[in-house]
Amino acid sequence: MTKTTMPMLESHPAEINLDRGSLAAAIDALIACAEACTACADACLGESSVAELTKCIRTDLDCADICGATARVLSRLTGYDANVSRALLEACAVACKACGDECEGHATMHEHCRICAEACRACETACRDLLATIG
C-alpha cells in the first residue's frame, strides 16, 4: 500500500459502507496497473515488431484509462454511489483480464509484457475482492 492512499481515506469525513483497507488496496492496485499498462504500451511502440503488438498496445491503453478513471472515482467518497463503483469495478476487472491475457501472450518475448500481465492480474483480483464487499 502506498504511504498516501490509506491516510487520505482515513482522514476523509465521509461515512461509507466499505472497508477502507480493501478500498485502499484496490486504489493502489488500480494506480499500479494504469502505470504498468501505460509503460507497456510505450515499450511496445519501441519494439522492432511494433506492428505485431498493435492489439497489445490498444489493450494496454484501454486498460490504463479504465484503471485510472476507476481509481479516481473510488478516491472520491463524498456522495458515494455504490452502483457507479460497482459498474466501474466490473468494467475494470474485464479490462484487466483482457489486457493480462493479451500481454501474457507476448510475455516470453517481452519482459514489459510479463510485468504488465502480472499487474493486470493483481488489479483484476483487487477489483473483484472489493466488488465482493459492495452490497
- Model-wide pTM > 0.85: yes
Residue 135, classified by CB atoms within 10 Å of its CB into exposed (0-12), middle (13-18) or buried (19+), is exposed
CATH number of 18-133: 1.20.1270.360
Residue 76 grid cell? 472520491
Res 2: pLDDT: 62
DSSP state letters, 45-111 = HHSTTGGGGHHHHHHHHHHHHHHHHHHHHHT--TT--HHHHHHHHHHHHHHHHHHHHHHHTTTTT-H
Give per-residue pLDDT as tens, 81-130. Answer: 999 999 999 999 999 999 999 999 999 999 999 999 999 999 999 999 99
